[in-house]
Structure formats: structure tokens, C-alpha cells
């Protein structure tokens, strides 16, 4: 019996006990082992221990603030991966003889390395996209649960924790808080996915019975619930209401749902429940009751009201939908290696369970907008060529002539919208300007997405179009982030700057080859 208990302890409990900060033997482990490295999925060092000639050990974080919250720190306690993988990092699986002779010489062995699921490029892109804004970004693979990026801002440099502990720990901004897993926020329009699922459940997965006329707002007792900027969406079916994120339509849906069933669904989707996370986290909350007012029901349906959720939980919900209803347990550790790269232990993806049926997941995915560029509400005209036999040459010529006429008319329309400034000084809409910028850059082989790899895109523009003022794109990119991600309207002078950038793009075709000039002229895009 004793042997069995000892075996069980070694297999299931030893790491938990060793990681306990009250374990008196923890210091003994750390005194015998140089803390191991933490690596990105491609092997880049995210954290390592530097030992100087005097034997002084210093924990280094080469990427500074970029990985701060997911890596955590190892001074003044431990957080993040430094805490999660503490056992592995202070354990050495160096070769036996090496460990033997190091112990004879009273020298420390090198601790094992943790290889994570984190992607340096994705983490950097997410970190840069947030810029100076407070918030969080999670990138998770639905099929594996691999966390590829986890960013929280405001952030800090883990290297500075020891020297700036008092400043960090007393910060009013909660700089040490990992907002990705611990920050609770109203989910907003993302929660319409849950409302949509409840509606489909109550209507046997049949969306055809829904219709709604959006007038830009809906009145409910003591207040109005408006769509974004008060925009009227007109006649809507369920798919278009979801695609356009119509607050009025979903508020109406919320007022008609069975609240008890709605609450059961929320519980099933892990609201008010423990989450399968190895990081410290906050429980999401869904508090709607049948006795609540109609206003509260409507607000809840559009992600407002008393509903609170963590960014990590939202990422888990979307991943489950993408993975046919099955949630994979989020994981950030892929394997442990000794310091030479020899595999010690691999951690396989684990299935948590089904949050919804595969049929429900498939129905939800049918309502999601397609993988269009960032300007989702704009439809790109596609030119499709039919397979016509050789006997239809005259018809082909007629069709080509017609197409040319259509392209020419469209060119004239675009030129009018791009270059025309009305008597009152107004400019084309921001959405139109940014769509045209996206399309023109696409011709040059530049896949522009606001907030992502802006410096690389600026460099490509500098090489391809040297006549465009240096840094102009970076300013335009900031304005695109402000408009699409921040939801802030642009000032008139800002719209004019975007307009100026587009005009310079259009004028650049004069120095291009004939094929690209034709594509620019007629807005023909890959």
C-alpha cells in the first residue's frame, strides 16, 4: 500500500507539491539547477538564465514587453509560464554522467527547456496591433487548443520586475494583470453568436422564419437601443442580421427567447463555470433571469447588460464552433527538452468536450461572413470567364465589348468618387477610400491588413513606389486602426490625408507596366 502511494505521489502529485511556493525544498532545487529556458514553437529563446563569471544568475527576456504576461516573471513569486512550468525549469535531465560530475564539483546542472506553442510572428503582430491601447489578444488553434499568441496591455518588461516591483504592484492600471484570462468585459456583438444559437435551438435549426425591418434603433420601455452610428439596415433575414451585426434585430430576438433555456445554454458554454485553463483566470458571468425587464433581456442579447466574459473564454467559444462543437483544452506547453535539445516529455493535445453539437456548429458557421478582406460590407466585383466553344467567336467578341463598356463605366464612377470633392468640401466615405487603398495595394502584391506588419508594408511601398512620401502609409494605417478597430470617426483633415494617399496610389500607375496600368485603370484585382 505504501509503495502504491509513493508511486501515485511521484506520478500525479510531485509537480504540484514542488511548484507550491510554501514548499521548503523548492529553494533546494533552485540552488542545484540553473533555471532552464523557455522557447517559442520555432526554438527562439523567450526567456533564459545568464550566468556571469562570478556565478551570478540573471533571468533574461529577449523580447522585452512582447511576451510579458504569458511568460510571466520569476522574481517576487512566479506567474505565467514561469509558474506553470516551474517544475520542469528547475529540473535537469542532462546526461547522467554530466550531472554526476557536476555534483562532485559542486557545480549547478542546467535546467530543462520548455518549448511552448507560442508563435513569435503572431505574438509580435498582436502586440503591435494593440499599440498603446489597453486590451488583450488571444490566438488559439481550434483543432489542437494551441495558444499561438497571448497579449495583454498595459504590459511590462519581466526583466524589470525585481527593480520596479513597487511601481508595478501599486500601478493603478493593473499592469501585472493578465487581461487575456483575468479581465472581465461585456462581450459586445460577439455574444450575438450565443443569442443566434439559442434562437436556432428554439426554432429547430430553421432560420427561414425570421424577418425584421431595421430602422436604426428599437425602443424598449425606458430607452432606445441603436445600431452602430444609428445606421438603418432595412429588410433582414437571420443571416444578414447576424452578418451586419444589427443590434435592433438581435434585441428583438432577445425579447422573445426562453430565458430558462438561454441560461442553460450559457452554462453549457461555460459561463458561470470553471474553465479548463492552467493560467489564473476569472469566471465569466451570465446573470439574466426570467424576472428581468425587457430592456435587460434585449441588452443581454447584444452582449451588454450584466454579462461579463474574459477574452480567453471568447476565444474558446469560437474555437469550439470552428472545431465542430468540440473544445480542445487550451495549452501553451508543447514539450520539455533537456538543454541540449533531447526530448524529455511531450504534452499531447487534450479534448475537453463538446460545448455544442456538430450540427449546431455547422449551422452557426453558415451564418458567419466569408473570409473577405477587412471591409466586409463591400462587395468586390468578380469577372468570371465562361467556357465557350470556338463556334461562339462573335458572341465572345460581343461579350468582351460589353465587359469593356462596363469596366469603362465603372472606372468613370470610381474616378468620380475618388477625385470629386463637392462644393461643401465633403470627401468620399471612409469605407470607400480604404477599400480602394486595399485593392490598389493588392495589385502590387501587398496584402494590407490594418495594424498588421505595418512596418514591412511601409518598406514594400518605399521600394515599389518611391514617389509616395515616406511614412505616409504608417499614418494612414494608424487612421484605419482608429476607424475599424477603435470605432472612432475620422476628422475631416484625417479623411483628407487618406484621400491624398489614395490619389498618390492612383497616380503611381503612370510608371507601371501596361498590364498593371490596365488593372489600376479598371480596378481589376487578383
Indicate the residue among 162, 180, 198 that finishes a domain. 180
Query: Do 44 and 171 fall into the same domain?
Result: yes
Q: What is the CA radius of gyration of the chain?
A: 28
Query: Do 30 and 173 fall into the same domain?
Result: yes
Query: Do 163 and 247 fall into the same domain?
Result: no
Query: Do 105 and 156 fall into the same domain?
Result: yes
Neighbours of 389 (CB within 10 A): 8
Tell me which residue of 428, 427, 465 sits closest to 443, measured CA to CA: 465
Half-sphere exposure of 72 (CA within 13 A, CB side): 17
User: What was the pLDDT predicted at 426?
Assistant: 55
Query: Do 516 and 394 fall into the same domain?
Result: yes
pTM score, two decimals?
Answer: 0.68
Query: Do 150 and 240 fall into the same domain?
Result: no
User: What was the pLDDT predicted at 171?
Assistant: 85
Which residues fall within 8 angstroms of residue 213, CB to CB, at 6 or more apart? 234, 235, 236
Q: Let me know: does 224 contact 217? Beta carbons within 8 Å.
A: yes
User: What was the pLDDT predicted at 354?
Assistant: 96
Query: Do 168 and 207 fall into the same domain?
Result: no
Domain count, the chain: 3
User: What was the pLDDT predicted at 377?
Assistant: 40
User: What was the pLDDT predicted at 173?
Assistant: 86
Query: Do 408 and 483 fall into the same domain?
Result: yes
- CATH of residue 118: 3.90.1310.10
Q: Let me know: does 439 contact 372? Beta carbons within 8 Å.
A: no
Which residues fall within 8 angstroms of residue 459, CB to CB, at 6 or more apart? none
**C-alpha separations of 92 from 55, 339, 369 in Å:** 18, 8, 50
Tell me which residue of 187, 194, 201, 148 sits closest to 328, measured CA to CA: 148
Query: Do 55 and 171 fall into the same domain?
Result: yes
pLDDT tens-digit series, residues 201-251 = 999 999 889 999 999 999 887 788 999 888 899 999 999 999 999 999 999
Query: Do 229 and 161 fall into the same domain?
Result: no
Q: Give 471: exposed, middle or buried? Use CB within 10 Å, 0-12, 13-18, 19+.
A: exposed
Measure the CA–CA gap between 368 and 243, rounded to whole angstroms.
6
pLDDT tens-digit series, residues 110-127 = 999 999 999 999 999 999
Measure the CA–CA gap between 485 and 374, rounded to whole angstroms.
10
Beta bridge partners of 151: 137
Q: Which residues of the chain have pLDDT under 50?
A: 1-12, 14-15, 371-391, 421-424, 525-526
In a domain, 344, yes or no: no
Measure the CA–CA gap between 172 and 174, rounded to whole angstroms.
6
Indicate the residue among 258, 293, 309 that finishes a domain. 309
Range of the domain at 255: 188-309
Amino acid at each position: 500500500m505504501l509503495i502504491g502511494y509513493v508511486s501515485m505521489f511521484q506520478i500525479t502529485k510531485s509537480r504540484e507539491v514542488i511548484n507550491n511556493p510554501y514548499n521548503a525544498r523548492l529553494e533546494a532545487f533552485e540552488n542545484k539547477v540553473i533555471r532552464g529556458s523557455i522557447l517559442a514553437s520555432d526554438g527562439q529563446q523567450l526567456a533564459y538564465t545568464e550566468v556571469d563569471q562570478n556565478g551570478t544568475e540573471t533571468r533574461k527576456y529577449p523580447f522585452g514587453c512582447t511576451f510579458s504576461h504569458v511568460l510571466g516573471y520569476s522574481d517576487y513569486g512566479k506567474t505565467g509560464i514561469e509558474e506553470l512550468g516551474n517544475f520542469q525549469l528547475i529540473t535537469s535531465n542532462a546526461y547522467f554522467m554530466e550531472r554526476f560530475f557536476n555534483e562532485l564539483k559542486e557545480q549547478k546542472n542546467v535546467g530543462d527547456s520548455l518549448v511552448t506553442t507560442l508563435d513569435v510572428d503572431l505574438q509580435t503582430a498582436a502586440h503591435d496591433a494593440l499599440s498603446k491601447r489597453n486590451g488583450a489578444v488571444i490566438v488559439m488553434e481550434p483543432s489542437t487548443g494551441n495558444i499561438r499568441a497571448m497579449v495583454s496591455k498595459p504590459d511590462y518588461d519581466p526583466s524589470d520586475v525585481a527593480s520596479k516591483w513597487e511601481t508595478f504592484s501599486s500601478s493603478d492600471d493593473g499592469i501585472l494583470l493578465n487581461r487575456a484570462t483575468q479581465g472581465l468585459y461585456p462581450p459586445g456583438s460577439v455574444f450575438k453568436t450565443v443569442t443566434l444559437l439559442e434562437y436556432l435551438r428554439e426554432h429547430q435549426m430553421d432560420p427561414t422564419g425570421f424577418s425584421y425591418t431595421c430602422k436604426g434603433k428599437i425602443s424598449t420601455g425606458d430607452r432606445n437601443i441603436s445600431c452602430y452610428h444609428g445606421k438603418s439596415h432595412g429588410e433582414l433575414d437571420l443571416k444578414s442580421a447576424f452578418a451586419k451585426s444589427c443590434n435592433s434585430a438581435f434585441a428583438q430576438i432577445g425579447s422573445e427567447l426562453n430565458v430558462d433555456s438561454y441560461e442553460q445554454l450559457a452554462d453549457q458554454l461555460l459561463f458561470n463555470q470553471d474553465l479548463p485553463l492552467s493560467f489564473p483566470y476569472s469566471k465569466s458571468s451570465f446573470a439574466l433571469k426570467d424576472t428581468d425587464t425587457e430592456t435587460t433581456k434585449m441588452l443581454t442579447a447584444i452582449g451588454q447588460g450584466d454579462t461579463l466574459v474574459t477574452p480567453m473564454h471568447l476565444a474558446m467559444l469560437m474555437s469550439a464552433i470552428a472545431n465542430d462543437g468540440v473544445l480542445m483544452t487550451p495549452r501553451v506547453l508543447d514539450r520539455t527538452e533537456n538543454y541540449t535539445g533531447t526530448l524529455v516529455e511531450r504534452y499531447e493535445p487534450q479534448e475537453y468536450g463538446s460545448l455544442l453539437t456538430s450540427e449546431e456548429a455547422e449551422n452557426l458557421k453558415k451564418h458567419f461572413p466569408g473570409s473577405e478582406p477587412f471591409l466586409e460590407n463591400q462587395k468586390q466585383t468578380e469577372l468570371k470567364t465562361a467556357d465557350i466553344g470556338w463556334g461562339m467567336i462573335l458572341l465572345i467578341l460581343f461579350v468582351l465589348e460589353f465587359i469593356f463598356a462596363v469596366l469603362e463605366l465603372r472606372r468613370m464612377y470610381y474616378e468620380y468618387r475618388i477625385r470629386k470633392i463637392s462644393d461643401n468640401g465633403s470627401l468620399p466615405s471612409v469605407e470607400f477610400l480604404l477599400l480602394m487603398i486595399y485593392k490598389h495595394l493588392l495589385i502590387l502584391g501587398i496584402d494590407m491588413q490594418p495594424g498588421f506588419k505595418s512596418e514591412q508594408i511601409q518598406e514594400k511601398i518605399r521600394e515599389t513606389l518611391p514617389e509616395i512620401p515616406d511614412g505616409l502609409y504608417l499614418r494612414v494605417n494608424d487612421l484605419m486602426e482608429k476607424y475599424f478597430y477603435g470605432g472612432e470617426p475620422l476628422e475631416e483633415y484625417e479623411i483628407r490625408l487618406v484621400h491624398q494617399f489614395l490619389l498618390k496610389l492612383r497616380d503611381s500607375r503612370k510608371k507601371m507596366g501596361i498590364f498593371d496600368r490596365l488593372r489600376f485603370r479598371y480596378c481589376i484585382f487578383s
